Structure 1
Amino acid sequence: MEAIESAGAEARKVTSRGVEAPRRQPAAPPSSPPAPPSLLDRLATASSALPTLDAEAYEPCVVDLLFGLLCDVARRRQPQVELALRGEPLPPDVPRAVWRRSLQAQGIWFQLLSVAEQSTAMRRRREIEIESGYARLTASFSRVVADAAAAGVPADEVRAVLQHLKIRPVITAHPTEAKRVTVLEIHRRIYRKLMDLESPRWTPRERRKLVGQLANEIELLWMSGELRREKPTVAQEVAWGLHFFGETLFEAVPLLFERLEDALHQFYPGEHFEMPRFFQFGSWIGGDRDGNPFVNNDVTRATLYDNRLACLKRYRQQLLDLAQTLSITAEALPVPEAFGAELARVLEQSGDGPAIATRNPGEVFRQYLTCMLRKLDATLADAQRRGAGTPIPGGYASADELAAELRAMELALLATGSDTLAGSYVRPLRHEVETFRFSTVQLDLRENSTVINKTLLALWRARAKPGSEPPDLQSEAWKAWLVSELARPLGPGEAGAALPESLADVEAETVQIFRMVRAMREQVDRNAFGAFILSMTHHATDVLGVYLLAKQAGLFSDAAGVESCTLPVVPLLETIDDLRRAPEILRELLAVPMVKRSIRAQGGVLEVMIGYSDSNKDGGFFASNWELSKAQTKIARVGRELGITISFFHGRGGSVSRGGVPAGRAIAALPAGSVNGRFRVTEQGEVVSYKYANRGTAQYHVELLASSVLEHTFKSEREDELQPRGEFDDAMEALAGASRAAYVKLVDQPELIAYFQAASPLEELSMLNMGSRPARRFGARSLEDLRAIPWVFAWSQNRHALTGWYGVGSAISSFLAVRQERGLDLLRRMFNESRLFRLIVDEVEKTLAQVDLDIARDYASLVPDARLRETIFTQIEAEYRLTTAMVLKVSGGSAVAERFPQFCERLARRLPAINLVSRQQIELLRLYRAASADQERRSYLVPLLLSINCIASGFGATG
């Protein structure tokens, strides 16, 4: 450990003249003393201590190791850059190329810190498991099942929960991921090299080579462009999403099922549990067209084919590996009669049975796998044609057929007593096929209610008498028209009929979405699509309109098109007003017989999506969290009253402001009875790479998500912390109201947008080319249509971070002004006994730690209007100081975030560099905006965008 720290300190050494770069020494004659070891040699020698360190000592040593290697690269490539790495400002006359490189180097350092922390977290989990057992891991199935058994939860109840368990994280391509796939791949290799260095088995020579390879990867980061030259296409975003499946997720999900099976067998011995494929992934990439003109039906079709090819290629490689592994002969292992008949069937079906049998004489499993590979090759070849031409015969009709053949092989091994071989080699692949099917993910489609309603109005006009005007969209007449059209049987050829020529391109494209669903289900997989998500659902009629478009496309289950819809339609409630109206919306919707029939036909579950981002933008952090919690309780109650199970889809983002809180705590704080084994959540931007880029972290996070859902289902209605308590609810209502009032008072000021645009890089974010989606939905320039992502992103860049705390101080202060000491006692009890209140306070406090008023004031100096600048910033500064004081009063702390030592330690590593980059960004914004010539502006643009990237990497979240 001391050697690593010494090497890290050596990497930081400078002289009064600047960086003390190592000099390459000429080969010394035999009589000369040996040359001093290089930094690389010292780090390699020092790394030999890593296997013996616990996680607490391991992290700083790995950090020093990576810092030393990065500094070594900087010294050799551009020595001045080490000044920036050490947190020192560059001289004002430094060339702009050095400025750009220093910003990139800081960004690389933040990325390396993140990799080091992921590695440390994995090491810490292993230490706990070694010392205390797997059941002590917070996120483990073993702990959850052990607790359930100890609490007396009967096996029948566990079976009932498993029967309905359904968990689906949904990967989205919101523009919050600044890292390219190339960079992600380098990060993964660095992570794996760190894991290799933990082993004590290496010789000094081998360890030196490993450290050298680690240095090479860091040098590749240095030389890889961090900024996208062009805005990514949707196809590139699809490839980005599929990257994680190939790296970790295809493997992680079968292991998840295995871990749950092991836990159930351990704590419920002698009981049998059916294990449904309860964990699947969804995706919005290529299907989310809400405000994204680059997603159209052609793009969605291409996405479905790409998704299909990804899993088929994976299965092919897995079958090849199985064929090499299962070299079992009939002489060594008698073949069960049933499998012999199955083998004869597939050999005959192949058309080349004798040749296959001759090539692998007696090796029955290899013969069987050869037939399977031929069928899969035909399926793969057909998929590569992307629907063009006549389908290639001889392939698999569906994923079910492939899974059934794997099951036949698994049963054959089990029948011969080869349980371990069946469980180790065949069953994981069967689980993969049953989970990922022939589509990898279930692709959701998303569109805004404005677009849906415009399309319906256009269809109404096209079919009405000339000069007729449609009813108002909020009128009873409009609802009556929708209901009557849904009840009317379609005439022959009406489903999928030619579109009226009067439809605009966007309207015609919207109608064709639903026709595409019908065609692509047949071509790709019956589960290729998840649901249709309706953004900005304000009324029940918005949802009925989607059902009508689905009906007219032939997506109803009977020939007449009047029975039930086969495509789930999910209302997305985003604003606080819509969340409050949710019970009314759902009652009105479920009063339509067709809707109820459709839900029952789809399994009896209505999914409702709730939005964390826009509700936060609408009412602030505290009010958003309370309104979301209330809405879930009320919606679930409506479902129970009407005999419909409600499942919630949580639209969370990466940052705290958009619901990005620790997954386990977030689920634990959900209202009692609101989960019931069903849980969907969006995984956005940098969250995806943080959770799923590395094998160990991916396995941990999928188990954390699934075990948290299982625990909430078992315990939530038995726990005091989640039971409704009148005095707590009244306090939350009062606090949320006061918090929202303070927040709205700020954001409703007409001049706030002018302040925000000037005092942050809001407009410059659009040039960062992080995602295909525009920053605004419909091209207007108001707060209402500004997406929540740039809203949050820009406030975090300018160090105000007000989307994660503003209004909380005013709320607590006004509450205490009325209730005084009794109120403080109540809030402190809530802090200790209410999971939701505690979660809000904790996350507010951590966000406050990231605010820097001095730097925020410097950003405010970019606002040219002094009166506006002082008016807005004075309010923000006062609320920040009030919130800090009030939160500490409730938590009993003496300093912000002192209750979170690991968080503080990691933030402290980053803040000096982030602060330096923030001040550089302020100057770059000033120069960029003041430049008159295009060429001069362009010269400032790249370092400005690098500074945005760098700060985002430093905080680990963007929007």
Structure 2
Amino acid sequence: MHQTDRLEEFKKSVKNKFYVYNSLFLNLPYQGIENVGMLIPLLFDQCEKGLKSGKNPQQILDLFFKSYANIDTEKERIDFMFSIIQYVERQVVLYDSVEDAAFPKLHEHSTSLSIKDYFQLVNKTKSWEKIAKKLSSFSARIVLTAHPTQFYTPSVLDIIEELKSLILEDKINDIDVVLQQLGLTSLINTKKPTPLDEAKNIIYILRNVYYAAVGDLFSYVKSNIENDEFDNYDIIKLGFWPGGDRDGNPFVTADITKDVADELRTNLMKCYYNDLKILRKKLTFKDLRPDLNALRDRLYVSMFDPEKVVSYDDIVGPLIKSREILIDKYNSLYLKQLDDLIDKVKIFKTHFATLDIRQDHSKHIQVIETVLKVNGYVNESLDELAEDELTNLLLNENLKLDSKDYKDEIVKDTIANISQLKEIQNKNGEQGCNRYIISNSEDIYSVLFVYALFRWCGWKKDSITFDIVPLFETMNGMDTSEHTMQSLFDLPDYRSHIEQRGSRQTMMLGFSDGTKDGGYLKANWSILKTKEVLSKVCSKNGVDAIFFDGRGGPPARGGGKTHRFYAAQTKAIANNEIQLTIQGQTITSTYGTKEQFMHNSEQLLTAGLSNNLFGKENIISKESRKLLEELSD
């Protein structure tokens, strides 16, 4: 019944509305393309009939041009087809806007488990104590990545948001004007975007969508959970790869990483400033003015000058002081609004999103080999050292690296970047940048090379405030991951580092590269088995396993019904936290509006918590495992 209702709502709120507004769009009054909109349905009809009758594309187009368009020259035909593409691209934007506007209504007919549904089930099962305990520590980390398929520019996103608002109110004349604006707005960048440009495009979404969405979701959970002291501000965490991920992108440099970290922080200060500006219109009381005015002025300066840093304590301190005064002297008036801002500050602190560093293991081999050659430990290759010698050197030898001493660009930039990470943490807080991910990890040296580089770039053993995250993405990497992690845990130095990081080990498992290596089924089956094995290894060593999945893009890159993927995990897989990447166009198509972001974030939370509620174990029988092994081979 739900599915029938949902289809009916889709027809009414998406399909029919799109047809109405598309009819406006097809008649845009632009010189030189007056008939293009009207010819698109005819071209579609010709293509459909032609393909069914066995015609090839050239024959279909020749017949179309002869029958309907009266276009003879090659140039005119190319220009016409280019106009068709321009029209269709904008029709997609219109469709996205209509679908975004309809999302709340479609969601009413969804069969998926929302936080609200989850809390209702908790009430029925009388399991609040168990669920409250899990909620106090569980979290979902959504990591935004840069990818060529993320093609909507901020100006187009603004148009989508405007269209969405107008469609909700069916303001047809205003919609007509915005569609004309869309017709004249370029959907592509005039030049190839730099890594900083890519980062700014996604920070735009952070600031305009996720800042409010994460705050509202936290507020909803906090107000509904039967625990007055609920303070899990990490329940939804944001990660960020643009500007930190240099795997395969030589244009991401140490300077770019620094600039992106500054952009994240300064944009967050703008969010705080705007919230405080609205709040001050309500908190007009004499005893609150000095602290709030001083905070406003400091935030304003820090919005525009990256060197003017306002610390977390300097932001939250005046707000908490104002809260106490509000309760004592002003009858707690507007306390809820002040608490909402305090909660946002405790969620985002001064980082907004955690900037991850990622590099391929092969680049670290190049860096380590060069460093050891320059310092006289090898003549040409790391192969000259026995494994014990190399391990001892990486763990105990004290070198001092300076990027200026090296000519190779990869070596220079790697050293410069690791050396500056302390400064990023000083400005944005530790959560601003505290994970270093190594692609194509297949042995212990993928981790130890990074550990050594941190030591040699000025970090003391007992103060490396970074999680070193191996990314197992090839079949071989997954097959050897158990031995790799156990060997690392057996090293006292690395074990000490893990204890300093809260006895938690994050391990990333890649889908798309595993697919290239072994196919869809083998990649998925290998990931599940690897998670089970690594969960067991970590548990045996007293370490909490945290899995980070590189699978949140289109289906070809592991996307799809992500919440079902997590809800289907077996009990043998550690369930301490959900972490996944959101790639490319998925950022705007699945997490692009406040409503979409909250819905899909809720899905991640309820998927991770569902086993705790229902008490059911997901078990794959021996027979099923045997069949999956045969199919994947």
TM-score by length of 2: 0.89
- State whether residues 266 and 302 of structure 2, in contact with CA within 8 Å, keep that contact through their aligned partners in structure 1: no
Cα separation, partners in 2 of 1:299 and 1:406, compared to 1, 3 Å: same
1:29-48 correspondence runs (5 A): none
Structure 2 equivalent of residue 483 of structure 1: 392
Cα separation, partners in 2 of 1:434 and 1:518, compared to 1, 3 Å: same
Q: Structure 1 counterpart of 2:214, which letter?
A: V
Deviations 1:157-198 (A, max 9, x none): 33432332232111110212232222222111111111222x
Q: 1:369 aligns with which of 292, 311, 333?
A: 292
Task: Tell me, yes or no, if structure 1 residue 669 matches structure 2 residue 581.
Answer: no
Q: Residue 466 of structure 2: SS of its match in structure 1?
A: coil
Q: 2:105 aligns with which of 98, 101, 123?
A: 123
Aligned partners of 1:258 and 1:151: how far apart in 2?
23
- State whether residues 440 and 473 of structure 2, in contact with CA within 8 Å, keep that contact through their aligned partners in structure 1: yes
Aligned partners of 1:366 and 1:701: how far apart in 2?
39
Structure 2 equivalent of residue 523 of structure 1: 427
Q: 1:468 aligns with which of 355, 373, 379?
A: 379
Structure 2 equivalent of residue 237 of structure 1: 198
1:1-150 correspondence runs (5 A): 56-73=11-28, 77-86=33-42, 87-88=44-45, 90-91=64-65, 93=72, 94-125=76-107, 127=108, 138-150=112-124
Aligned partners of 2:274 and 2:561: how far apart in 1?
35
Q: Residue 434 of structure 1: SS of its match in structure 2?
A: helix
Aligned partners of 1:652 and 1:420: how far apart in 2?
46
Task: Tell me, yes or no, if structure 1 residue 507 matches structure 2 residue 411.
Answer: yes
- State whether residues 140 and 577 of structure 2, in contact with CA within 8 Å, keep that contact through their aligned partners in structure 1: yes
Q: Structure 1 counterpart of 2:82, which letter?
A: R
Structure 2 equivalent of residue 350 of structure 1: none
Q: 1:169 aligns with which of 142, 156, 175?
A: 142
Structure 1 equivalent of residue 495 of structure 2: 596
- State whether residues 289 and 447 of structure 1, in contact with CA within 8 Å, keep that contact through their aligned partners in structure 2: yes
Q: Structure 2 counterpart of 1:481, which letter?
A: L
Quote the offset at 1:371 in angstroms.
Answer: 2.1
Cα separation, partners in 2 of 1:710 and 1:407, compared to 1, 3 Å: farther
Quote the offset at 1:139 in angstroms.
Answer: 4.1
Structure 2 equivalent of residue 327 of structure 1: 284
Quote the offset at 1:219 in angstroms.
Answer: 1.7
1:218-297 correspondence runs (5 A): 218-265=179-226, 273-297=230-254
Q: Residue 472 of structure 1: SS of its match in structure 2?
A: helix
Structure 1 equivalent of residue 446 of structure 2: 542
Q: 1:211 aligns with which of 168, 172, 176?
A: 172
Cα separation, partners in 2 of 1:714 and 1:83, compared to 1, 3 Å: same
Aligned partners of 1:276 and 1:682: how far apart in 2?
20
Aligned partners of 2:480 and 2:412: how far apart in 1?
31
Larger radius of gyration: 1
Q: Which moved more, 1:411-420 or 1:162-171?
A: 411-420
Q: Residue 683 of structure 1: SS of its match in structure 2?
A: strand
Quote the offset at 1:419 in angstroms.
Answer: 5.5
Q: 2:616 aligns with which of 719, 723, 731?
A: 719
- State whether residues 563 and 594 of structure 1, in contact with CA within 8 Å, keep that contact through their aligned partners in structure 2: no
Structure 2 equivalent of residue 885 of structure 1: none
Q: Residue 680 of structure 1: SS of its match in structure 2?
A: strand
Quote the offset at 1:402 in angstroms.
Answer: 1.1
Count of equivalent residues: 599
Quote the offset at 1:309 in angstroms.
Answer: 0.9
- State whether residues 233 and 343 of structure 2, in contact with CA within 8 Å, keep that contact through their aligned partners in structure 1: no
Aligned partners of 1:138 and 1:147: how far apart in 2?
13
Task: Tell me, yes or no, if structure 1 residue 158 matches structure 2 residue 81.
Answer: no
Cα separation, partners in 2 of 1:570 and 1:414, compared to 1, 3 Å: same
Quote the offset at 1:272 in angstroms.
Answer: 5.0
Structure 2 equivalent of residue 191 of structure 1: 164
Aligned partners of 2:356 and 2:167: how far apart in 1?
37
Q: Residue 462 of structure 2: SS of its match in structure 1?
A: coil
Quote the offset at 1:697 in angstroms.
Answer: 2.0
Task: Tell me, yes or no, if structure 1 residue 404 matches structure 2 residue 317.
Answer: yes
Structure 2 equivalent of residue 436 of structure 1: 348
Aligned partners of 2:389 and 2:465: how far apart in 1?
23
Task: Tell me, yes or no, if structure 1 residue 532 matches structure 2 residue 428.
Answer: no
Q: Residue 171 of structure 1: SS of its match in structure 2?
A: strand
- State whether residues 282 and 334 of structure 2, in contact with CA within 8 Å, keep that contact through their aligned partners in structure 1: no
Structure 1 equivalent of residue 604 of structure 2: 705
Quote the offset at 1:103 in angstroms.
Answer: 1.2
Q: Structure 2 counterpart of 1:280, which letter?
A: K
Q: 2:588 aligns with which of 676, 689, 706?
A: 689
Q: Structure 2 counterpart of 1:735, which letter?
A: L
Aligned partners of 2:540 and 2:478: how far apart in 1?
19
> Structure 2 regions of 5+ residues with no counterpart?
1-7, 47-63, 66-70
Deviations 1:290-320 (A, max 9, x none): 1101100111111111111101111112111
Cα separation, partners in 2 of 1:223 and 1:482, compared to 1, 3 Å: same
Aligned partners of 1:675 and 1:255: how far apart in 2?
28
Q: Which moved more, 1:146-155 or 1:217-226?
A: 146-155
Aligned partners of 1:144 and 1:485: how far apart in 2?
49
Q: 1:575 aligns with which of 450, 474, 490?
A: 474
Q: Structure 2 counterpart of 1:62, which letter?
A: K
Structure 1 equivalent of residue 54 of structure 2: none
Aligned partners of 2:213 and 2:329: how far apart in 1?
28
Q: Which moved more, 1:311-320 or 1:89-98?
A: 89-98
Cα separation, partners in 2 of 1:99 and 1:543, compared to 1, 3 Å: same
Cα separation, partners in 2 of 1:675 and 1:683, compared to 1, 3 Å: farther
Quote the offset at 1:676 in angstroms.
Answer: 2.4
> Structure 1 regions of 5+ residues with no counterpart?
1-52, 129-135, 198-209, 329-362, 556-560, 738-959
- State whether residues 141 and 237 of structure 2, in contact with CA within 8 Å, keep that contact through their aligned partners in structure 1: yes
Q: Residue 610 of structure 1: SS of its match in structure 2?
A: strand
Structure 1 equivalent of residue 56 of structure 2: none
- State whether residues 503 and 543 of structure 2, in contact with CA within 8 Å, keep that contact through their aligned partners in structure 1: yes
Aligned partners of 1:713 and 1:652: how far apart in 2?
24
Aligned partners of 2:160 and 2:9: how far apart in 1?
23
Cα separation, partners in 2 of 1:662 and 1:415, compared to 1, 3 Å: farther
Q: Percent identity?
A: 20
Aligned partners of 1:525 and 1:724: how far apart in 2?
43
Quote the offset at 1:733 in angstroms.
Answer: 1.1
Q: Residue 281 of structure 1: SS of its match in structure 2?
A: strand
Deviations 1:888-922 (A, max 9, x none): xxxxxxxxxxxxxxxxxxxxxxxxxxxxxxxxxxx
Deviations 1:541-578 (A, max 9, x none): 121010000111122xxxxx343532111000101221
Quote the offset at 1:245 in angstroms.
Answer: 1.7
Aligned partners of 2:232 and 2:80: how far apart in 1?
57
Cα separation, partners in 2 of 1:649 and 1:228, compared to 1, 3 Å: same
Q: Structure 2 counterpart of 1:461, which letter?
A: K
Quote the offset at 1:700 in angstroms.
Answer: 2.1
Q: Residue 532 of structure 1: SS of its match in structure 2?
A: strand
Aligned partners of 1:57 and 1:506: how far apart in 2?
55
What is the RMSD of the two structures over their aligned residues, measured on CA atoms? 2.5
Aligned partners of 2:447 and 2:394: how far apart in 1?
14
Quote the offset at 1:704 in angstroms.
Answer: 2.6
Structure 2 equivalent of residue 421 of structure 1: 334
TM-score by length of 1: 0.59
